[in-house]
């Protein structure tokens, strides 16, 4: 009985292999069912665009990573493209170590990736749905999700925007306190502009106006984002209502000039105006930034925020690593306490301690020769007492997990072994 995990991720395999090995939700369900037929006791499958990983409890003492790996490859018909080097495999507490690093955000492509935690949660839920979870995997994933939560609250590994569009939103919230009272104006219908507007909407911006040379594209965007369309020719009058302007259009000349903005600022009582210029060549005259209460940022400035945040996240990795280590100690403790041998060993140690203590206490009452004898006799008594329970426990190894585990737990509880750290 042991934990085993096999999988592939962006660290080992190129995108072609990862996409071939990607499991849809239905495929995960089918695979889980099949795995249980392969005599794996418990199984969970995580599949995202960056990783596909299987976590199982394998019945044999020496878990075979190869057969699990082959199962994944065969299930996805990926023999032609996937090879063993693309896969990692872990067993026992190594499994936990890896999964903890995944949920802590250390193993992600961008350190502190927020999505992975939800994806892991979804994976264990799918497994619960299919009834392929169990005693070991429940605890493993519960601990892993706990690690993920701790890493995000106790470190800053997930802090700061790591995409240009999100950096723009972050910047907006450094200028304005209440985005929900602000109006955004999007000029152009390009991808980055759209993403930025989308983030702003999800942050609760009150209104979005969209202006584009081709009206049909603007209409498409309105359907996706909500908001309303402004005629490209009416852009300037509309500016006075906007607090955030995103300009992402390809134009040889400046779309907004210093005069435009000076004019607008007078109309809007000088209240702050944030302009994001993601057009190349630039859409807004850089001199606009000189006007009081106008904040103009181009793509380079946003990229600088992203780079800074990435560096900061990387620095937080060591802190997250510490959390992984702490939780791993806990998990290892729990995991080992389930095993028969350490329990027997600890039980013997406990009895031996008691015996020695009592012998020492009374040793002065005996002569030198009798002392040896007493030592011998007491040892024998202890051994005899422990003999039958030991035998029964050892037999238990071939019984079903649940039953053995219950037995071990009972013994550990009865003899107060719970707090003891197994040395094994």
Partner 1 sequence: MILVTIDVLEVLLPILYFITIWAYAKAFFSGHPKARKISTPLLTVTLLAHLTYLLGRTAAFEHPPITSIFEILSVIAFSISLAYLLLELKTRVKATGYFVLNLPFVFQLVSSLFIKDQIDVDPVLKSNLLGIHVSSALLGYAAITISAVYGFLYLMLYHKIKSSRFGVIYERLPNLEVLERLSFVSTAIAFVFLTVAIAVGLIWLPRAFPESSYIDPKLFGTLLIWLVYGIGLAARKLAGWYGKRIVVLSILGFAFTLISMTVIDIFFSGFHKFY
Shortest approach of partner 1 to residue 277 CB, angstroms?
12
Q: Fill in the DSSP letter of residue 77.
A: T
- Binding status of residue 156 toward partner 1 by CB under 8 A: yes
Shortest approach of partner 1 to residue 163 CB, angstroms?
15
- Binding status of residue 315 toward partner 1 by CB under 8 A: no
The token pair that represents 305 in the structure block: 């925020």
Please identify which residue in 23, 136, 209, 295 interacts with partner 1, judged by CB under 8 A.
295
Residue 45 or 162 with smaller CB distance to partner 1: 162
Please identify which residue in 61, 177, 216, 360 interacts with partner 1, judged by CB under 8 A.
177
- Binding status of residue 272 toward partner 1 by CB under 8 A: yes
Segment contacting partner 1 by CB under 8 A, of 25-33, 66-74, 256-264, 302-310? 302-310
Shortest approach of partner 1 to residue 37 CB, angstroms?
48
- Binding status of residue 178 toward partner 1 by CB under 8 A: yes
Q: CB neighbours (10 Å) of residue 72?
A: 23
- Binding status of residue 322 toward partner 1 by CB under 8 A: no
Q: Tokens 């702490």 label which residue?
A: 326
Residue 64 or 150 with smaller CB distance to partner 1: 150
Closest of 408, 382, 383 to residue 395, by C-alpha: 408
SS3 label, residue 87: coil
Segment contacting partner 1 by CB under 8 A, of 168-176, 197-205, 230-238, 375-383? 168-176
Residue 173 or 392 with smaller CB distance to partner 1: 173
- Binding status of residue 154 toward partner 1 by CB under 8 A: yes
The token pair that represents 143 in the structure block: 């601990």
Burial of 124 (0-12, 13-18, 19+ CB in 10 A): buried
Q: Tokens 């057009």 label which residue?
A: 279
- Binding status of residue 262 toward partner 1 by CB under 8 A: no
Are 287 and 140 a contacting pair, CB within 8 Å?
Answer: no
H helix runs in 287-339, sequence order: 299-337
Segment contacting partner 1 by CB under 8 A, of 36-44, 121-129, 288-296, 369-377? 288-296
Please identify which residue in 269, 360, 368, 423 interacts with partner 1, judged by CB under 8 A.
269
Shortest approach of partner 1 to residue 296 CB, angstroms?
8
Please identify which residue in 92, 251, 289, 378 interacts with partner 1, judged by CB under 8 A.
289
Are 108 and 378 a contacting pair, CB within 8 Å?
Answer: no
- Binding status of residue 271 toward partner 1 by CB under 8 A: yes
Shortest approach of partner 1 to residue 294 CB, angstroms?
9
Residue 224 or 315 with smaller CB distance to partner 1: 315
The token pair that represents 362 in the structure block: 């009374």
According to DSSP, the residues that pair with 76 across neighbouring strands are none
Instruction: Provide the sign of the torsion angle of the four alpha carbons 19, 23, 27, 33, taken in this order.
Output: positive
CA 225 to chain centre: 29
Residue 53 or 277 with smaller CB distance to partner 1: 277
**Cα separation of 59 and 57, whole Å?**
7
**Cα separation of 362 and 375, whole Å?**
11
Please identify which residue in 297, 313, 336, 347 interacts with partner 1, judged by CB under 8 A.
297
Q: CB neighbours (10 Å) of residue 202?
A: 10
- Residues in binding contact with partner 1, number by CB under 8 A: 22
Active site (annotated) includes residue 49: yes
Q: Give CB contacts under 8 A, 24+ apart, made by 214-222.
A: 214/189, 217/189, 218/189, 220/189, 221/186, 221/189, 221/194, 221/197
H helix runs in 338-400, sequence order: 340-362, 368-395
- Binding status of residue 304 toward partner 1 by CB under 8 A: yes
Please identify which residue in 125, 228, 262, 270 interacts with partner 1, judged by CB under 8 A.
270
Please identify which residue in 305, 324, 328, 347 interacts with partner 1, judged by CB under 8 A.
305
Containing 258, the helix (H) or strand (E) segment is helix 258-267
Which positions are annotated as active-site residues? Answer: 49
**Binding positions for partner 1, rule: CB under 8 A:** 154, 156, 171, 173-178, 269-272, 289, 292-293, 295, 297, 301, 304-305, 308
């Amino acid at each position: 009985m042991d934990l085993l995990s096999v999988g592939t991720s962006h660290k080992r395999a190129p995108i072609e292999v990862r996409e071939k090995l990607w499991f849809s939700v239905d495929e995960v369900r089918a695979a889980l069912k099949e795995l249980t037929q392969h005599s794996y006791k418990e199984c969970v499958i995580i599949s995202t665009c960056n990783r596909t990983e299987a976590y199982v409890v394998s019945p044999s003492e020496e878990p075979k990573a190869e057969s699990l790996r082959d199962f994944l490859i065969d299930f996805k018909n990926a023999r032609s493209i996937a090879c063993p080097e693309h896969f990692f495999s872990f067993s026992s507490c190594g499994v936990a170590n890896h999964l903890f690093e995944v949920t802590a955000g250390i193993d992600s492509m961008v350190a502190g990736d927020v999505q992975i935690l939800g994806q892991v949660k979804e994976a264990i839920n799918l497994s619960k749905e299919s009834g392929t979870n169990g005693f070991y995997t429940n605890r493993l994933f519960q601990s892993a999700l706990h690690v993920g939560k701790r890493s995000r609250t106790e470190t800053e590994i997930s802090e700061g925007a790591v995409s240009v569009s999100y950096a723009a939103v972050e910047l907006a919230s450094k200028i304005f306190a209440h985005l929900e009272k602000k109006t955004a104006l999007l000029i152009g219908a390009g991808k980055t502009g759209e993403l930025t507007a989308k983030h702003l909407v999800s942050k609760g911006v009150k209104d979005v106006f969209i202006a584009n040379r081709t009206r049909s594209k603007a209409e498409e965007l309105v359907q996706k984002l909500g908001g309303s369309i402004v005629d490209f020719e009416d852009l300037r009058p509309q500016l006075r209502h906007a607090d955030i302007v995103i300009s992402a259009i390809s134009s040889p000349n400046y779309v907004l000039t210093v005069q435009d903005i000076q004019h607008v600022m007078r109309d809007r009582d000088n209240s702050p105006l944030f302009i994001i210029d993601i057009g190349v060549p630039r859409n807004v005259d850089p001199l606009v930034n000189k006007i009081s209460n106008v904040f103009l940022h181009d793509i380079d400035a946003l990229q600088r925020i992203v780079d800074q945040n990435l560096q900061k996240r990387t620095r937080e990795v060591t802190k997250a690593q510490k959390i992984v280590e702490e939780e791993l100690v806990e998990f290892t403790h729990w995991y080992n306490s389930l095993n028969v041998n350490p329990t027997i060993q600890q039980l013997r140690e406990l009895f031996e301690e008691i015996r020695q203590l009592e012998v020492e206490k009374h040793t002065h009452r005996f002569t030198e020769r009798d002392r040896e004898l007493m030592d011998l006799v007491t040892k024998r008594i202890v051994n005899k007492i422990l003999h039958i329970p030991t035998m029964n426990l050892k037999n238990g190894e071939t019984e079903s997990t649940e039953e053995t585990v219950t037995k071990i737990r009972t013994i550990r509880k009865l003899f107060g072994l719970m707090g003891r750290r197994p040395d094994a």
